[in-house]
Structure 1
Amino acid sequence: MKFEKTKEVLNQLVADLSQMSMVIHQTHWYMRGPGFLTLHPMMDDFMDDVNDQLDEISERLITLDGSPYSTLREMADQTKIPDEIGRWDRTMEERLATLVEGYRYLADLYQKGIDVTGEEGDDPTQDIFIEFKTATEKRIWMIQAHLGKAPEIDA
């Protein structure tokens, strides 16, 4: 079969982007305190970006004759991004740090995809992975800057 490793990474991304969307939703819903008026609408942008990536990743997987996960059970069983029950006692800094962790994981997974597509000679999918890794690193930078920290990107 052609592009098997690439399809595995794509489907892992289907599960992980779905989970990341939920983590961002939770941040959006359980937000209180200073910065609310700025951060709350920003989470809408973050969700839109992750959902756009999810759609493109899923469609690319289908283009390669793959079958994306399509149930909540599959996503929950396959994701490597942790979740937790929503609570009101977490600070915005803690919530944003959780987002950074998820984005760092996604950036690493995109890098794995870049490596795998290079091995398998799938340039179009590699382009997608490069574009989304770049966008994900930008999110890390933005959140880290808000937290008063350096991006700490390992390119």
Structure 2
Amino acid sequence: MKNLIGIDKEKAEKLSTELNNLLANYQLFYQNLRGLHWNIKGKEFFELHLKFEELYNDAILKVDEIAERVLTLEGEPLHTFSDYLETAEIKEEKGITVGQQGVEIVVKNFSTLIQKERVILSLAADADDEGTVSLMSDYISQTEKTLWMLSSYLG
């Protein structure tokens, strides 16, 4: 049985579940970035304040795209913080003011996200879901480049 966009319903349901997990992780990532943006201190303040803002602006766009993809697959996106906290592997970070520690958290969070994106990419390819494949391919290439840059920043 196929859904409205021609994807096998069981495969679409599995993809929606995995996308919801990614959505929850992106929401925690986004909130961590906001906290880092607001609370960072020290000599790297100006540079990191702007970088964290750039990253959270990108993350919030991805949150919306992921939720809309879940809807396109005829699923229901998670939308409560209790669901996000229960579902996500990324954990809340509090009181981080040191630049290096903040960047290390971002690298760790991105590593979690890219692993999830690769799983979804594989499932989407198996389901002939080009829309999700395209979305995940774009996310993965962006994340890989960002991880390289952040790792270079950390030395």
**TM superposition score normalised by structure 2:** 0.89
> Aligned partners of 1:15, 1:52: CA distance in 2, in Å?
14
1:136 is matched with which residue: 98, 118, 143?
143
Please name the residue that 1:66 is paired with. Answer: 75
Q: How far is 1:95 from its partner? A: 1.3
Cα distance per residue 1:16-43 (max 9 Å; x no partner) = 1000001111211220111211110111
SS at match of 1:121: coil
2:20 pairs, out of 11, 35, 53, with 11
Structure 1 CA distance, aligned partners of 2:21 and 2:135? Answer: 15
Of all paired residues, the percent bearing the same amino acid is 25
Q: Name 1:30's counterpart in structure 2.
A: 39
Once the two structures are superposed, the pairs formed by residues 4-153 of structure 1 within 5 Å of their partners are 4-88=13-97, 91-148=98-155
Counterpart residue identity of residue 137, structure 1: E
After TM superposition, where is structure 1 displaced by more than 2 Å over at least 4 residues in a row? Answer: none
SS at match of 2:123: helix
Aligned residues: 146
Q: Deviations over 1:61-101 (max 9, x none)?
A: 1011110011111111111102233254xx21111111100
How much is the aligned-residue C-alpha RMSD, in angstroms? Answer: 1.2
Structure-2 change in CA distance of 1:32 and 1:11 (3 Å): same
- Give the unaligned 5+ runs of structure 2: 1-8
SS at 2:69's partner residue?
helix
Equivalent position amino acid for 2:33 in 1 = I
Bigger shift: residues 40-49 or 133-142: 133-142
- What is the TM-score with the length of structure 1 in the denominator? 0.89
Residue 11 of structure 1 aligns to a residue whose secondary structure is helix
